[in-house]
């Protein structure tokens, strides 16, 4: 396949690098000529400042990694050419705009995908497999923490669209259903235009609850998720790419000494190896 990248800022550079490693990067576009030129020369592909020029090369697909407020317009231009497109999250700055883009792609019968990268994280897919095998039991609660200091690359959205969107998607994926109710609190602690912290609760069918904490206020980065299941407790560390599964068994105990209840713990730790292309 031949895939072009539109927008080679912080995230777009990652797309270009991975596509180059896969041997299918066909060209890059950026409104800043210096950045387009630097990335194009680095990967040995043509560079442009206009999407029209990239589309004239007839790529099989295009990745859009520009600011969120430009996604709909750029994606429509690509879709109109009949070219498949993957757009970075969030796909639009509002629900109405997102629906508009989805309908536009459907009417044109062109593939539109959203880059929800955590869905395909090896620790997430491994956890999904554990749940499907049934050994962990039924999911009861899911809790996630995605916090760090403010990322200077983000200028047109708040922490919910930038960070929480990942964990909402991962929880939907692991539960295998859509939440029925959503509760959220948050705000701009640093008095910015957008929220920089939020706590969100999702209520899924069957009584499963999900709790998310996200912020741009914590001095160090945390990327974790845990699941309390009817048999096991599962902990994911996205940064370490580790998965810890804990179960316990109550041993025979002395009813006259309930302060010393013997529990036998079984802790299994997996480190997911990500193979480079």
Q: Residue 211: how many CB atoms within 10 A of its CB?
A: 17
Average pLDDT of the chain, as a whole number: 92
Return the sign of the alpha-carbon dihedral for residues 19, 21, 26, 29: positive
Which pLDDT band, with edges at 50, 70 and 90, does 244 fall under?
very high
pLDDT at 64: 98
What value does the mean pLDDT take over residues 124-153? 93
- Is the pLDDT reported for residue 275 higher than 80? no
Q: What percent of the chain has pLDDT over 90?
A: 82
pLDDT of residue 192: 83
- The predicted pLDDT at position 152 comes to 75
pLDDT band (50, 70, 90) for residue 248:
confident
In this predicted structure, what is the pLDDT of residue 154? Answer: 73
* Residue 277: pLDDT band with limits 50, 70, 90: very low
pLDDT digits (tens, 9 = 90+) for 31-70: 999 999 999 999 999 999 999 999 999 999 999 999 999 9
Which residues have a Cβ under 8 Å from the Cβ of 122 and sit 6 or more positions away? 241, 272, 274
pLDDT of residue 15: 96
- Beta-sheet strands, E only, within 65-111: 84-88
170-222 pLDDT, tens digit per residue, is 999 999 999 999 999 999 998 788 999 999 999 999 999 999 999 999 999 99
Q: What is the pLDDT of residue 265?
A: 77
pTM of the full predicted structure?
A: 0.85
The better pLDDT of the pair 247, 77 is held by 77
Q: What is the pLDDT of residues 253-274, one digit of tens each?
A: 666 666 776 676 789 888 876 5
Confidence bin at 276 (pLDDT 50/70/90): very low
Residue 252 is predicted with a pLDDT of 67
pLDDT in tens, 186-197: 999 987 889 999
Q: By the 8 A CB rule, do 113 and 105 touch? A: no
**Residue 27 scores a pLDDT above 90:** yes
Region 231-248: what's the mean pLDDT? 93
Q: Quick one: what percent of the chain has pLDDT higher than 70?
A: 93
């Amino acid at each position: 396949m031949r895939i072009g990248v539109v927008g080679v800022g912080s995230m777009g550079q990652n797309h270009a690098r991975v596509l180059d490693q896969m041997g299918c990067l066909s060209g890059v576009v950026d409104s800043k000529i210096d950045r387009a030129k630097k990335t194009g020369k680095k990967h040995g592909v043509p560079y442009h400042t206009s999407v029209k020029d990239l589309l004239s090369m007839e790529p099989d697909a295009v990745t859009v990694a520009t600011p969120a407020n430009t996604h709909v317009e750029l994606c429509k231009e690509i879709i109109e050419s009949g070219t498949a497109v993957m757009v970075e999250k969030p796909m639009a700055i509002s629900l109405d705009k997102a629906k508009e883009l989805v309908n536009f792609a459907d009417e044109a019968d062109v593939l539109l995908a959203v880059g929800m990268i955590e869905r395909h994280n090896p620790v997430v897919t491994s956890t999904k497999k554990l749940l499907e095998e049934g050994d962990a039991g039924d999911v009861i609660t899911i809790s996630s923490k995605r916090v760090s200091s403010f990322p200077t690359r983000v200028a047109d959205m708040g922490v919910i669209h930038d960070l929480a969107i990942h964990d909402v998607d991962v929880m939907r994926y692991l539960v295998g259903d859509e939440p029925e109710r959503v509760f959220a609190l948050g705000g701009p602690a640093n008095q910015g235009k957008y929220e920089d912290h939020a706590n969100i609760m999702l209520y899924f069918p069957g009584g499963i609850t999900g709790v998310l904490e996200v912020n741009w206020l914590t001095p160090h980065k945390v990327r974790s998720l845990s699941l309390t299941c009817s048999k096991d407790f599962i902990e994911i560390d996205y940064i370490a790419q580790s998965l810890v599964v804990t179960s316990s068994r109550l041993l025979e105990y002395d009813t006259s000494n309930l302060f010393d209840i013997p529990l036998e713990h079984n802790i299994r730790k997996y480190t997911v190896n990500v193979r480079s292309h």
